[in-house]
């Protein structure tokens, strides 16, 4: 199996994990409502777990959304450019995206490591090691960096007329 297939599989898996997290929120919140209404019991950690699921879904799906070219962008001004200049601009945009993702990757690792080293805990209904939550950000930005790097490579290799 080539690397590209493995990489695409990972991205689709990220999207699938985000979709599963959303279904989980629907089922957990609904179950909690029915338990509360009919059995007068509730699951105390429902809101907290849903919040983590929401955060997980947002950051895990982001690289998959980028690979699908679905992140919102304002293309009104660039649509007036010739193919040649649009190619230069796309390369610049991918470079900016790579730079931004790399900064978040580096400082995401720093934040996660600092949290792990200090054994920081999030106290709500559940007690969760903070580093486990923070680690989603470097994972997400690692994949985003790879995606931007792939786009940059493709952009640099492309012929101006074909871009």
- Summarize as ranges the residues that interact with another protein (CB under 8 A): 15-16, 18-23, 25-26, 28-30, 32-33, 37, 47, 50-52, 54-55, 57-62, 64-66, 68, 70-79, 89, 92-93, 96-97, 99-101, 103-104, 107-108, 110-111, 114, 133-134, 136-137
Strand-pairing partners, residue 127, are: 123
- Closest CB to another protein among residues 80, 161: 80
CB of 12 to another protein, least distance (A): 9
CB of 85 to another protein, least distance (A): 12
From the number of C-beta atoms within 10 Å of its C-beta (0-12, 13-18, 19+), residue 161 rates as exposed
- Helix/strand/coil (H/E/C) assignment for every residue in 97-152: HHHHHHHHHHHHHHHHHHHHHCCCEEECCCEEEHHHHHCHHHHHHHHHHHHHHHHH
CB of 40 to another protein, least distance (A): 13
- Closest CB to another protein among residues 83, 96: 96
- Closest CB to another protein among residues 70, 156: 70
User: Measured between alpha carbons, how far is 22 from 106 in angstroms, rounded to an integer?
Assistant: 28
User: Measured between alpha carbons, how far is 149 from 152 in angstroms, rounded to an integer?
Assistant: 5
CB of 4 to another protein, least distance (A): 21
- Closest CB to another protein among residues 68, 84: 68
- Closest CB to another protein among residues 132, 160: 132
Strand-pairing partners, residue 128, are: 122
CB of 152 to another protein, least distance (A): 13
């Amino acid at each position: 199996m080539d690397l590209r297939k493995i990489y695409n599989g990972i991205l689709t898996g990220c999207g699938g994990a985000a979709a599963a997290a959303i279904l989980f929120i629907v089922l957990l919140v609904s179950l909690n409502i029915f338990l509360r209404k009919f059995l007068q019991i509730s699951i105390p950690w429902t809101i907290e777990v849903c919040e983590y699921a929401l955060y997980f879904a947002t950051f895990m799906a982001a690289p998959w959304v980028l690979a699908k070219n679905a992140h919102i962008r304002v293309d009104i001004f660039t649509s007036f450019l010739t193919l040649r200049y649009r190619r230069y601009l796309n390369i610049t945009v991918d470079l900016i995206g790579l730079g931004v993702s790399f900064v978040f990757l580096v400082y995401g690792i720093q934040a996660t490591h600092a949290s792990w080293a200090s054994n920081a805990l999030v106290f709500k209904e559940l007690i969760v090691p903070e580093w486990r939550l923070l680690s989603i950000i470097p994972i997400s930005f690692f994949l985003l960096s790879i995606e931007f790097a792939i786009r940059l490579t493709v952009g640099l290799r492309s012929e101006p007329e074909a871009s």
